[in-house]
Amino acid sequence: MLRRFWLLFAQAVTVLLALLFIVVTLKPQWLQHQGQFGKQLASPIVALREVAPGSGSGPAIASYADAAQKAMPAVVNVFSGKAGSTPPNPHAKDPLFRYFFGNPKNQPQDKQQPEDETATNLGSGVIVSPEGYILTNEHVVDGADEIEVALADGRRTNAKVIGVDPETDLAVLKINMTSLPSITLGRMDQVRVGDVVLAIGNPFGVGQTVTMGIISALGRNHLGINTFENFIQTDAPINPGNSGGALVDSSGNLLGINTAIYSRSGGSLGIGFAIPVSTARSVLESIITTGSVTRGWIGVEPQDVTPAIAESFGLEQRGTIVAGVLQGGPADKAGIKPGDVLLEVNGQDISDTTRLLNLIAQIKPGTQAHVKLMRKKKEMDVLVTIGKRPPPPKQADSNQDDGGDDSQQE
């Protein structure tokens, strides 16, 4: 009798354990509030930490969403076209297309390229004022008969070109709309290499896009892209269609206007260039005030003092040598001659031709500048009455891909 009772007990316990195993495996929630034993069975195998609902995916510093949301409404798409022109092939920069069909006409490769020479000639712009002023690149709107702007909120309108400055590749547009968002301008004196930046634009026409990187370098020049170069270099991905878009800091403030990339394929290789906001602001104010940009000029053709030139002529490797002087120009009237080495302008050292170009350009035409030069190993000072820089000659084929001309006249 006892043996039979024990057998029944063992069978019952076996069935109960089997049922408990099935419940724990398939419906553990049934046991979560059934005493301490149930709680232990329903607990995770290892201790895990999970973010609280509604607290985000991590610390606030890991996200730049606030900066993007602040700047994105002020970045617009710029559509430009030429009446009667044939649009380029939309696959012109596709490597596979090039493999089968070759390089399209007037489509140079392996050079510094402005990043929006795409089929639709679509670029970007930045609203910098509630009055409707927009900064973009000159090469985005160059030669366009009609310009249309599409805002981030879906509104579209025609834009008028207020003025352009080909020597910095900047243009100012104007739209007449109400309730316009505008971006906050940053300060270049607070910018450092290594700062996080966001590039906002419309790459490849896919729609407004934000990419992130850092400032790789400041004051980049001698690139042959523009006459006046003082670029911010960034590794934030900039692609075709980003031209004229915004480069902003981690707070959403405008630091630069994206203008060019170094690329062998037409896509981003991590070397992009933006015109600093300090230059953009100066050009903007000048164009709004006078319709153009006025710069100083003295009429010389400068050349860098290279180690070879310094050794050949027994010169110190500083300043810039005058290779030519325009007859009747400001420098010629002041007595500057070919072979002179320009050392200083108004007490500021001249390190190369770019430095000379920028120093002279900042001086108001009609004023006198003190120029220190070296002639036959003797230093001397001359007074030069600054003239007005003439506009650059209009090229037949305005294509920034040509890399520019190494010789510049100042």
Cα→Cα distances 285→26, 84, 128, 153, 279, Å: 71, 34, 11, 27, 10
Average pLDDT score, the chain: 77
Q: What is the pLDDT of residues 229-263, one digit of tens each?
A: 888 999 998 888 888 999 999 989 999 999 887 76
pLDDT digits (tens, 9 = 90+) for 269-304: 778 899 999 889 989 998 998 888 888 888 888 888
Q: Compute the distance between CA of residue 309 and CA of residue 303 in angstroms, rounded to an integer.
A: 10
Please give the share of the chain, as a percent, with pLDDT higher than 90.
Answer: 22
* Residue 266 confidence class, pLDDT cut points 50, 70, 90: low
Biggest CA pair distance of the chain: 133
Q: What is the DSSP code string of 320-385?
A: EEEEEE-TTSHHHHHT--TT-EEEEETTEE--SHHHHHHHHHTSPTTSEEEEEEEETTEEEEEEEE
Which pLDDT score is estimated for 225?
Answer: 79
How many other C-beta atoms lie within 10 A of the C-beta of residue 304? 17
pLDDT for 403: 32
> Is the pLDDT reported for residue 107 higher than 80?
no
Confidence check: pLDDT of 167 > 90: no
> Does pLDDT of 61 surpass 70?
no
Q: How many Å apart are CA 214 and CA 241, to the nearest integer?
A: 20
Burial class (CB within 10 angstroms; exposed 0-12, middle 13-18, buried 19+) of 134: buried
> What pLDDT does 31 receive?
60
The vertex-401 CA angle with 396 and 404, nearest 5°, equals 75
Q: Is the pLDDT of residue 60 over 80?
A: no
Q: What is the pLDDT of residue 144?
A: 81
In the predicted model, is pLDDT for residue 75 greater than 90? yes
Q: What pLDDT sits at residue 85?
A: 47
CATH number of 296-388: 2.30.42.10
pLDDT top residue among 32 and 201:
201
* Between 310 and 385, residue with greater pLDDT: 385
Query: Does the pLDDT at position 164 exceed 50?
Result: yes
pLDDT of residue 223: 77
Write the DSSP symbol of residue 41: H
Which pLDDT score, from 0 to 100, does residue 293 have? Answer: 84
Q: If 0-12 CB within 10 Å is exposed, 13-18 middle and 19+ buried, where does residue 41 land?
A: middle
Q: What is the pLDDT of residue 119?
A: 36
Task: Please write the tens of the pLDDT for every residue from 318-364.
Answer: 788 888 889 888 988 888 899 888 888 888 888 888 888 888 888 88
Say yes or no to pLDDT of 91 above 50. no
All CATH 2.30.42.10 domain ranges of the chain, comma separated, are: 296-388
- Tokens (6 digits) for 24: 């724990």
CA-based nearest residue to 258, from 72, 402, 114:
114
Stronger pLDDT, 281 or 58, i.e. the higher one: 281
User: In terms of pLDDT, which residue wins out, 97 or 303?
Assistant: 303
Q: Which residues are catalytic?
A: 139, 169, 243
State mean pLDDT over 201-220: 88
| Gap between the Cα atoms of 410 and 326, Å rounded | 10
Does residue 214 register a pLDDT over 90?
yes
| C-beta separation of 340 from 322 below 8 A | yes
DSSP codes of every residue in 249-265: ETTS-EEEEEEEEE-SS
**CATH class held by domain 65-293:** mainly beta
Distance CA 298, CA 397 (A): 28
Q: Mind giving me the DSSP string for 291-305?
A: SS---EE--EEEEE-
Residue 279 and residue 220 in contact, taking contact as beta carbons nearer than 8 Å: no
Query: What pLDDT score does 270 carry?
Result: 77
What is the residue whose two structure tokens read 């006025």? 294
Report the candidate in 268, 265, 255 with the shortest Cα–Cα distance to residue 196: 255
How far is residue 347's CA from residue 363's CA, in Å, rounded to a whole number? 13
Distance between CA atoms of 357 and 33, rounded to whole angstroms?
80
Q: Give the number of other CB atoms < 10 A from CB of residue 346.
A: 14
Structure confidence by residue, pLDDT tens digits, 30-53: 665 555 544 444 556 666 566 566
Give the highest mean pLDDT range of 99-103, 131-135, 345-349.
131-135
- CATH 2.40.10.120 in the chain: give the residue spans: 65-293
The four Cα atoms 195, 356, 408, 263 give a dihedral, to 10 degrees, of -10
Is residue 125 predicted with pLDDT exceeding 80? yes
Dist CA 257 CA 231 (whole Å)? 10
DSSP string of 189-222? GG--TT-EEEEEE-GGGS--EEEEEEEEEEEE--
